[in-house]
Amino acid sequence: MTGSEARSGTTDAGDTRPSVNQREEAARIVAGGLEAVSAAGSLEELRSLQTELVGKRSALAGLGRTLGGLEPEARRVLGAELQDARARLEEAIGARLSGLEQSERAAALESDRLDLTEVMGDSSRGHLHLLTQTRDELEDVFIGMGYRVAEGPEVEDDWHNFEALNLPAAHPARGMWDTLYLDQGDTESILLRTHTSPVQIRVMETQAPPIYIIAPGRVFRRDTPDARHLSTFHQIEGLVIDRGITLGDLAGTIESFTSAYFGPGMHSRLRPSYFPFTEPSGEFEVTCPICAGGGCRTCTGTGWIELGGCGMVHPNVLGAVGLDPEEWSGFAFGFGIDRCAQVRHQVPDMRVFLDNDLRLLTQF
Amino acid sequence: MRTPLSWLRDFAPIDADVERLTELLNELGLVVDGVSRVGEGLGGVVVARVEEIQAIEGADRIRAVVVDVGGTPTHVVCGAWNFAVGDLVPLATVGTVLPGADFAIARRKMRGVESNGMLCSGAELGLSADHGGILVLPEGLETGAALTEAIGLAPDVVFDLDITPNRPDAMSVAGVARDLAGAMRIPFAVPDRPAPALRADGPGAPPAGAGRETAGDRDPVTGARVATEDASLCPLFTARIVEGLTVGTSPAWLTTRLTLAGMRPINSVVDASNYVMLELGQPTHPYDLDLLAGPALVARAAREGEVLRTLDGVERVLGLGEHPDCVITDGDDRVVGIGGVMGGQSSEISEGTTRVLVEAAYFAPMAVARTSKRLGLRSEASARFERGTDPDIAALCADRVAALAAGSGGGANLGAGLSTGHAPPHSRIYLRTARLNALLGTDLGDAVVHGHLERIGFGVSVSSPGEAEVEVPGWRPDVSAEVDLVEEVARHHGYARVARTVPTTTQVGLLSSYQRGRRHLRQVMAGAGLVEAWTPTLLGPDDHGLVGRGEEAKGLSLTNPMSREESELRRTMMPGLLRAVRFNVGHRNENIRLFEVGKVFAPPPAGRGLPEEGEQLAAVLAGPGDDATAAVRLWRTLADGLRLQDPGVRSATPPGLHPTRSGELVAGTAVVGVIGEVDPAVAAAFDLEGRLGWLQVDLEALAAADRLPTAVADVSSYPSSDVDLAFVVDESVPAAEVESTLRRAAGELLIGLRLFDVFRDQALLGAGRRSLAWRLRFCALDHTLTDGELAAVRQTCVDAVQSAHPAVLRG
């Protein structure tokens, strides 16, 4: 712009040109102004400079007011020059303003700096017990398969815990459960349930089939705790009573559960076993979750982990609750919640759960 | 049940590798707990005779032993004490690497005495689990001979089987072999005579049937007789007499098998009895005939208070139970044995025995089970009898024991086989193929189904297509109904071959509202920063006393607790949680705030029957600064989380809690729990210091408490206004009472009420009074409140409080 003005200055007529003084004054103002703007050290200083340089009372404005006395052509030329001078100053002020704002913000931010790694205090989150989390997850798998959750008392009578489950008094198989009894005069009539199976009886006594339930809960055995067993522990029981239920249904249900809970690629297998309340009876194993079936110490190299017992509900059990075994059939299965947690989380010794040690409980 | 493969091969030509056999056994439900290979790596082990045993000076655990190894005396040091001079023992010579060991036996010095080898236990040789002492070998072996050759031990495999209690047949080698042969579709047969594969010096051909054809209840030659006076206890009683025998050590092939099967050889007569029990499953009992008063054995019910000293040396009192005990008596009606459980000491076989009466009976399983349980006396015999032996083989087994005992003793005569009573008839079961397929989800044909059964000894008579009558063999007392046959077919068909299906239900799976509420409650607790604990259901009587709950617990204590500390059902979770706090304090864990959701118990209403049980939430706050106020804040969080209607705290003094810093929890009008601080004396009893906040809620009461309406409450778009009111209130008036007066008086415009300041200053406020300041927030749904409206509602509130309570507005 300066260049073009210089060129036009050399070609235009003398009387139409602004006086040299006015033009020098404008150039002086611009030069001095630019210098002052670049020297402004604070926003405050810059704002007063702004008033001084481009405000209504500025020298530039004063020059502008002299335009009226000029010839139209000279007025046009000087007006353009003044406009240009004003624009240059305003541009410089604007640039300086944003520079100053940035550095002031930078300074403010710097003084506000926080080392996020020097923050004190740990997580204040609480924790559900690992066994609760395991139980909830197991429940959710079966709820997804259409089951309801049934519960029963932890202290039971002989009928529900044994007799109705096809375990009459002095049945040798009662030795499979070391039982704790309540001292109530009558010997061995009231006991701490040794398994969650009595819930099966209670459900069948009160609810007509079809029945699809699971029964999680605490059970008790008169056993000395070791690395794999506690004398108080938790089981989850499943019971299905419907028309036409088969051993194939049992095997398929356990397989579905296995891959839902332990993950895809995890499988189950059944082998014959014995429980008085089921016939045929079986034990089920699942792919070892530690080695995914490859064989490791946990599964003693077999690739399989024994999880629980299962079978087709014995006709005597159906008879004990008044169901006709020719009309209804069903299956039941049960396994340890604690054992599930132990296997999945590789807990070396169950007895750590007895301490309620926060160092353990807060890991999950 | 330890089952050597070589022994199984006495019954069936089993030819498969160990892995396949293990798989087959598992698939049959004869679960293999372990497989051991025996008889390998014993090349350096020789037979040695103990010549001399000397104490070593300064050592009280080891002794110097000189053994003869085929003419060469060898000095060894040994730490076992179960052998004597003259015994034959196995010596691992220098350089031998024993099975399972990773080092060679070296020549070494112990306490200055040189040891040139090692005397071995059964476990060290890999022959048995017995590491209780040196394996004492049977007489008659050549010293210096290689052990494996001397005892006829070929490399063998021993399967350790876990036999379920329904399978007495599989508690014998024959039974396992029968099942295996069925699955492998190879022939199975019980040999007529003892025909061990390992025999070199096995028994001569015994006169197995001799005298049997004249069998009755009385031996015409000796006059010995058997009788059963109670057929419900002992339906069948057989016996056999052997005379002129010498009690000694059994032949090596027999002791080797006993050892591999996990039994210690005793003497030739007892070993014969044990051998037959392991082989065929029939326990027998040999009596020294000369020690019986009269050559007779009678099975009858014990009379009340009859006494017998059993073989284990314990005096047993009989006939005291609700059900009769079966005893065996001699000719003088003297008790000499407990039927099916254990014999008496008085007629025990000894070295001097020459005449033996071998008893092989069939006892009623339930009777044996009851007696064995009542006496707390279990034996290999009772384990088999209570599950049910095969009555059809009792006489055969008496003969076989007699023959084996005679054969090893030499020069013996066998008397007549005696028998009285009857074996129970075989049961016959109607089997429908369609029913079987319906239960298994299979599509098996008659021929397949019947084939599976016949191969394991069931008799099948087809009545019409799809229907058959099945005769159950004597060795399968567990099979009594159609469904049992279904299991047999399933076992032999293979569980793995049943196609898998998943049943479908129209039922929607979901939690009950109580169960959902319980999960929610736990999440609120965890969200509030608490950690969930699981403490024991069983406590000691002292625990209850310590927390002020030592009241009589009739009907809640155990008859057979593991220990006094676990002898009562808990009535409160306080002892368990305080103990958990103590553990964590002891381990310098921080921020100890625990909760538990679990059952607590109350005595049964009539002192007997099922106790009352209910679920509780208990929380203990032992973090920095925790006290009763922290517990109250936790309660507010819980009440908010569960959307309780009108939750509150009322004054009360619950047991175990601080008498002046605790109360009870209410929701509406219902009491739902207790709250406050643990009584300092209780805390001290659990070795804890400082204040401990405590919250305890009954889950059933909580579930029944009213919840806030499900409909959303409108939120105003007009500005709200705050009014602060401070009252000087007597200490006797709980803040909550003033607050509820304020709430009532403030009416519908009140949208917030918060106690924000409490202060005490005796000079300013007077004694027994404190200042309580509330901030009330008002708002209308449809307009901005005017100053006039606010002034009016403020005055209403002030008037209400001042007239209802000893309270004065502070200026």
SS (H, E, C) B223-261: CCEEEECCCCCCCEEEEEEEECCCCCCCCHHHHHHHHHC
Instruction: For residue A115, give the DSSP letter.
Output: -
Amino acid in the structure at residue B405: A
- Going by C-alpha positions, the residue among A300, B481, B164 that lies closest to residue B176 is B164
Measured between beta carbons, the chain A residues lying within 8 angstroms of B560 are: 180-181, 222
**Alpha carbon separation from A73 to A6, A21, B399, B438 (Å, rounded):** 16, 17, 148, 114
Q: How far is B566 from chain A (nearest CA, A)?
A: 11
* B701-714: average pLDDT: 94
pTM comes to 0.85
Residue B51 and residue A76: Cα distance in Å, rounded? 141
pLDDT at residue number B798: 97
Q: What is the pLDDT of residues B269-279, one digit of tens each?
A: 999 999 999 99
pLDDT at residue number A18: 63
Q: How far is B375 from chain A (nearest CA, A)?
A: 13
Residue with the larger pLDDT of the pair B695 and A23: B695
CB A364, CB A133: distance < 8 Å: yes
Three-state SS for A118?
helix
B313, with CB counted inside 10 A (0-12, 13-18, 19+), is exposed
Q: What is the pLDDT of residues B60-103, one digit of tens each?
A: 888 889 999 888 889 999 988 888 898 999 999 998 888 878 88
B138, with CB counted inside 10 A (0-12, 13-18, 19+), is buried
First to last CA, chain B: 91
pLDDT at residue number B220: 74
pLDDT at residue number A9: 43
Take residue B678 and report the two structure tokens written for it.
């643990």
E strands, B715-760, are 721-730, 750-759
Q: How confident is the model at residue B201 (pLDDT cuts 50, 70, 90)?
A: very low
pLDDT for residue B545 is more than 50? yes
Q: How far is B158 from chain A (nearest CA, A)?
A: 18
pLDDT at residue number B637: 97
Residue B459 and residue B256: Cα distance in Å, rounded? 36
Q: Which backbone phi and psi does A204 adopt, to 5 degrees?
A: -70, -30
Closest Cβ opposite residue A153 in set B166, B366, B613 = B613
Measured between beta carbons, the chain B residues lying within 8 angstroms of A187 are: 559
Residue B431 and residue B462: Cα distance in Å, rounded? 9
pLDDT for residue B372 is more than 50? yes
pLDDT at residue number B196: 28
Take residue B418 and report the two structure tokens written for it.
């005696």
pLDDT at residue number A1: 42
> Could B532 and A361 be called an inter-chain contact, meaning their C-beta atoms sit closer than 8 Å?
yes
Q: What is the pLDDT of residues B448-495, one digit of tens each?
A: 999 999 999 999 999 899 999 999 999 999 999 999 999 999 999 999
For residue A181, list its beta bridge partners. Answer: A191
Residue B147, H or E segment: helix B147-150
Interacting residues of A296 by C-beta distance below 8 A, sequence separation 6+? A288, A290
pLDDT at residue number A10: 44
CB B215, CB B416: distance < 8 Å: yes
Dihedral class, residue B694 (left if φ above 0, else alpha if ψ from -120 to 50, else beta) = beta
Q: How confident is the model at residue B215 (pLDDT cuts 50, 70, 90)?
A: low
Average pLDDT in chain B: 91
Q: How far is A97 from chain B (nearest CA, A)?
A: 40
pLDDT for residue B232 is more than 70? yes
Q: How confident is the model at residue B579 (pLDDT cuts 50, 70, 90)?
A: very high
CB A166, CB A314: distance < 8 Å: yes
Closest Cβ opposite residue B483 in set A122, A283, A314 = A314
Alpha helices in B247-330 (DSSP H): 252-260, 268-280
Q: How far is B497 from chain A (nearest CA, A)?
A: 9
> Could A356 and B583 be called an inter-chain contact, meaning their C-beta atoms sit closer than 8 Å?
yes
Q: What is the pLDDT of residues B244-262, one digit of tens each?
A: 888 988 888 899 999 999 9
Interacting residues of A250 by C-beta distance below 8 A, sequence separation 6+? A270, A282, A310, A311, A312, A331, A333
Q: Is the peptide bond before A280 cis (omega within 30 degrees of 0)?
A: yes
Interacting residues of B787 by C-beta distance below 8 A, sequence separation 6+? none
> Could B538 and A329 be called an inter-chain contact, meaning their C-beta atoms sit closer than 8 Å?
no
> Could B599 and A154 be called an inter-chain contact, meaning their C-beta atoms sit closer than 8 Å?
yes
Q: Which site among B534, B563, B565, B633 would you substitute to test the A interface, given the most A Cβ atoms closer than 10 Å to its Cβ?
A: B534
> Could A125 and B529 be called an inter-chain contact, meaning their C-beta atoms sit closer than 8 Å?
yes
Q: What is the pLDDT along chain A (364 residues), one digit of tens a residue?
A: 444 444 444 444 445 566 778 888 888 888 998 999 888 888 889 999 889 888 888 888 888 888 888 888 888 888 888 889 889 999 999 999 999 999 989 999 999 998 898 988 888 899 999 999 999 999 999 999 999 999 999 999 999 999 999 998 877 778 778 899 998 877 778 999 999 999 999 999 999 999 999 999 999 999 899 988 899 999 999 999 999 999 999 999 999 999 999 999 899 999 999 999 999 999 999 999 888 888 888 888 889 999 999 999 999 999 999 999 999 999 999 999 999 999 889 898 999 999 999 999 999 9
Measured between beta carbons, the chain A residues lying within 8 angstroms of B610 are: 153, 155-157, 190
Interacting residues of A114 by C-beta distance below 8 A, sequence separation 6+? none
* B537-550: average pLDDT: 91
Query: DSSP secondary structure string, A245-286?
Result: --HHHHHHHHHHHHHHHH-TT--EEEEEEEETTEEEEEEEEE
DSSP 3-state helix, strand, coil percentages of chain B (rounded to 5)?
30, 30, 45
Measured between beta carbons, the chain A residues lying within 8 angstroms of B29 are: 271-274, 282
pLDDT at residue number B123: 85
Residue A135, H or E segment: helix A130-144
CB A273, CB B29: distance < 8 Å: yes
Q: What b-and-e string marks burial along B6-20, b requiring 16 or more CB atoms within 10 Å of the CB?
A: bbbebbbebeeeeee
Residue B732 and residue B267: Cα distance in Å, rounded? 89
Residue B438 and residue B453: Cα distance in Å, rounded? 18
Interacting residues of B489 by C-beta distance below 8 A, sequence separation 6+? B436, B440, B444, B449, B452, B453
CB B373, CB B383: distance < 8 Å: no
Q: What is the pLDDT of residues B24-47, one digit of tens each?
A: 999 999 999 999 888 888 888 999
pLDDT at residue number B127: 82
Amino acid in the structure at residue A192: L
Residue B100 and residue B129: Cα distance in Å, rounded? 13
Measured between beta carbons, the chain B residues lying within 8 angstroms of A146 are: 504-509
Longest dimension (CA), chain A: 135
CB A153, CB A193: distance < 8 Å: yes
Measured between beta carbons, the chain A residues lying within 8 angstroms of B523 are: 128
Complex prediction ipTM: 0.86
Q: What is the pLDDT of residues B107-121, one digit of tens each?
A: 888 888 888 999 998
pLDDT for residue B212 is more than 50? no
Measured between beta carbons, the chain B residues lying within 8 angstroms of A273 are: 29, 31, 164
Q: How far is A273 from chain B (nearest CA, A)?
A: 5
- How many beta-carbon pairs under 8 angstroms link A with B? 250
Return the residue of B nearest to A131 by Cα: B534
Measured between beta carbons, the chain B residues lying within 8 angstroms of A135 are: none
pLDDT for residue B214 is more than 50? no
**Overall size of chain B counted in residues:** 811
CB A22, CB A63: distance < 8 Å: yes
pLDDT at residue number A17: 61
Q: How far is B360 from chain A (nearest CA, A)?
A: 21
Return the residue of B nearest to A128 by Cα: B532
> Could A126 and B484 be called an inter-chain contact, meaning their C-beta atoms sit closer than 8 Å?
no
